[in-house]
Structure 1
C-alpha cells in the first residue's frame, strides 16, 4: 500500500504522527497514547489518540513492536517525516566554530579530512564518513617482468611511494624484448606524468606515427597505462571514524543489527559506492534503512552531502551513518555546513 502524501493527513493525524516520530527520535523507544495525552501533547483522550494511532499504522506510517506497547515510525514514516514535516535546526555558533577551526588547522589536507570525520562523529554521536578527493598519482616507475610463457608481472611505483603488482596475461608469442622495450619507453617518456596524461601522450605519439615501439610493445604500454588509469579514478579513499559511537546502551538489545552495521563499514568499497550516489546531488541526501540495499539488514541511515572546490566541481562526499533514529533535523544541516566548509578548504 503506497504511503499517502503528508497533505492528505488530517491536522489531528499529522500532529500525532509528528509527536510520535519526534518522541521516538529523542528516546529510541515507542511512544504510547498516555505520553501523547500528557503535558505538551495533544488535547485528546487516550482512546481518541489510540484510534488515530491505529489509522496511522494501517497507512504504514507507524508500527507497534508489541501489542501493549506504543508506536514507532516505520522507515516509510521516517521518510514522510523527513521530507514533509521536519524543521531544520541550524548548527549552533559553537558547532560551526568547532568545524571551521578543525578544518583550518595547519597540516596536510588528509589530516584535515580525518579530523573532520572524527568531529562529525563526535557532534552527531554517529560514525563520521569522508570520501577523500580522487588524486591520480604520478608515475615514478613501471616495469614488466616476464614470469613465463604468456604471463608477466607489471610493477608500478607511484610518486607517493606506493607500489602495486599485477600479473598480466600476454600473447604467448610476445618475447622478452617487447617487455624490455615497453619498460624502457615508459621510463624515458612517461615517468612524472599521471596515468591519464600518459595515456593521452601515448595516443598522440601513435597518431603521429612517432612511436618507436613495435606493435606488441605499444599494445602492452597502452594496456598497462589504461588499466591503472581506470583503477586510480575508480578507487576513492574513504575515511570512517567514530564507529564506537554506534555502540551505546540502546544497542545492547539489538546487537545483531549493530554487528551487521559494523560488518558493512568494514567493506569500505561498498560504502564508497553508496556515497558515490550522493556526488551528483544538489543538496544533502538522506538514505533511510532498507532504501539502500547495503544497510537493509542493519536498519541504518546515512546522511551525505557532496563538497565542491571553488570552481564548483564535486571532489568528495562527507556524511554520517547511524541508527534510523538519528536526529535528522540537527544532523542534516550540520553535514551540509561541513560540506560547504570543506569546499572552501579544498580551493
Structure 2
C-alpha cells in the first residue's frame, strides 16, 4: 500500500493523527479517544474521535496493539509524520555551546570521536554511534614474535601512536632468525611509509634484488603487511555508546525486542554498512523500523548524518539508534549540528 499523502487527510484527521504520534513519542503508549477528548486540543466528542481513529487505522497510519487500548502510529504513520508534518526544533544557543565545548576540550581526534558518540547518546536518550574514518597510518614499527610452532604475533605500531596485534599462521619450520630478519627489514626500509607505500617498496626491492631477504623472511613480511591491510578494509571501526539507555522501564516490558536490538548493535559490519548508506546525504537520513533490514526485527529507528573535513569531503557517518518513538523533531537537527561541529575539528 502506497503511503497516504498528508494533503489527503482532513484538518481534523491531521490534528488527531499528530496528537497520537506526539503522545506516542512522549511516553511510548497507545492513546485512546477519551484521552484525546480530555486533552482539549481537539473539539470533538470521544465518539467522533473514535471514528477518525478508525479511518486512520484503515489507511494504515495507526494500529491498535490491543483491543480497547487506543492507537499508536505504524511505521508508515511515523514516516508520514516525519516527512510531512514534523516541525523540527533547532538546537538552542546553549545546547550548541555545550556540544561544541564537549568536543573541543578533547585533544586527539580519536578522543573527539569517543566524545561525539557519548554526546549523541545523551541528546537522544538512545545509543550514539560514530563510524570512524578509515585510517592509513604510517608504519613506526612492526615486530613478529613467535607464540608457538604454528603461530606468530604481529605487533603493528603506527606513527600516530596506534598499536594493533594480529595473529599470523607460520610454518613449523619457520626459524626465529627468519622472524628477526623480517622485523629488521621492516625497521630499516618500511618505517615512515603507509601500508600501500611499504608494499610497493617491498615489491621494488625484491624485483631489483635489494631486499636481501630469504624466501621465508620475504613471505613473512608480505603476509604481515597483508594482515594489516585486510583488517583495515574489512573491519569497520564503530564507536557505540549508550546501549544502557535502551534498557529503560518501558523497554523491559518488551525484552525480546531490546535483546534483538543489542544483538544488532554487536554486528558492527552490518551497522557500518547501514550508516555508510547515508554518506552522500546532504543532512540527516532517517530509517524507521523495517525500512532497513538490519533493525527490522527489533523495530528500531536510525538517524544518521555524514560528517565532513574542512575541505568538504565525507570522512565518516554518525547517528543515533533507538526505538521508533525517538523524538525526531529534536534529535534530527541535533545530529546534524553535531556532525557539523565534529567536521570543524577534522583537518
Q: Is the Cα contact below 8 Å between 1:146 and 1:176 reproduced in 2?
A: no
> Does 1:229 pair with 2:229?
yes
Distance apart, 1:176 and its partner CA: 9.0
Instruction: Report the equivalent of 1:287.
Output: 287
1:289-329 Cα offsets, whole Å, 9 max, x none, are 22222222222212111111101122222212221101100
Partners in 1 of 2:180 and 2:24 — Cα distance? 67
Q: Counterpart of 1:301?
A: 301
Does residue 132 (structure 1) correspond to residue 149 (structure 2)? The answer is no
Native 8 Å contact 2:168 2:224 kept in 1: no
SS at match of 1:199: helix
Q: Is residue 154 of structure 2 the alignment partner of residue 155 of structure 1? A: yes
What CA distance in whole angstroms lies between the structure 2 residues aligned with 1:40 and 1:208? 85
Unaligned runs of 5+ in 2: none
Contact 2:146–2:153 (CA under 8 A) maintained in structure 1:
yes
Q: Which stretch shifts more, 174-183 or 51-60?
A: 174-183
* Cα distance in 1 for residues equivalent to 2:249 and 2:184: 61
Per-residue deviation, 1:78:
0.9
Secondary structure (helix, strand or coil) at the match of 1:249 reads coil
Gaps of at least 5 residues in structure 1 are: none
Structure 1 residues 250, 308: closer, same or farther in 2, change over 3 A?
same
Q: In the aligned structure 1, how far is the partner of 2:174 from the partner of 2:117?
A: 49
2:62–2:72 CA contact under 8 A, matched in 1 = yes
CA distance in structure 2 between the partners assigned to 1:325 and 1:163 by the alignment: 39
Q: Report SS of the residue matched to 2:13.
A: helix
The aligned residue for residue 37 of structure 1 is: 37
Alpha-carbon RMSD = 3.0
SS at 1:166 equivalent:
strand
- Scaled by the length of structure 1, the TM-score of the pair is 0.85
Deviation at 1:25, TM superposition (A): 0.9
Deviates most, 35-44 or 293-302: 35-44
SS in 1 for 2:294: helix
Asked whether the 8 Å contact 2:166–2:227 carries over to 1, the reply is: no
Q: Shift in Å at residue 217 of structure 1?
A: 6.3
Cα shift readout 1:250-272 (whole Å, capped 9, x = no counterpart):
22322222232233334444433
* Distance change in 2, residues 1:165/1:237 (3 Å): closer
> Structure 1: how far apart are the matches of 2:103 and 2:318?
13
* More off after superposition, 302-311 vs 205-214: 205-214
User: Contact conserved, 2:157 with 2:163, CA < 8 A, in 1?
Assistant: yes
Q: What does the per-residue CA deviation read over 1:32-61, in whole Å, with 9 as the maximum and x for residues that have no partner?
A: 222333444333333332222222212221
Listed as ranges, the matches of 1:262-341 within 5 Å are 262-341=262-341
Q: 1:80 to 1:176 in 2, by over 3 A?
A: same
**Alpha-carbon displacement from aligned partner over 1:11-31 (angstroms, at most 9, x marks no partner):** 333332222111211221112
1:95 matched to 2:95 = yes
Q: 1:179 to 1:107 in 2, by over 3 A?
A: closer
**Range with bigger deviation, 24-33 or 181-190:** 181-190
Q: Give 2:165's aligned residue.
A: 164
Tell me the TM-score normalized by structure 2: 0.85
Contact 1:146-1:179 at 8 Å conserved across structures: no
Q: Which moved more, 1:312-321 or 1:58-67?
A: 312-321
Equivalent residue, structure 2, for 1:346: 346
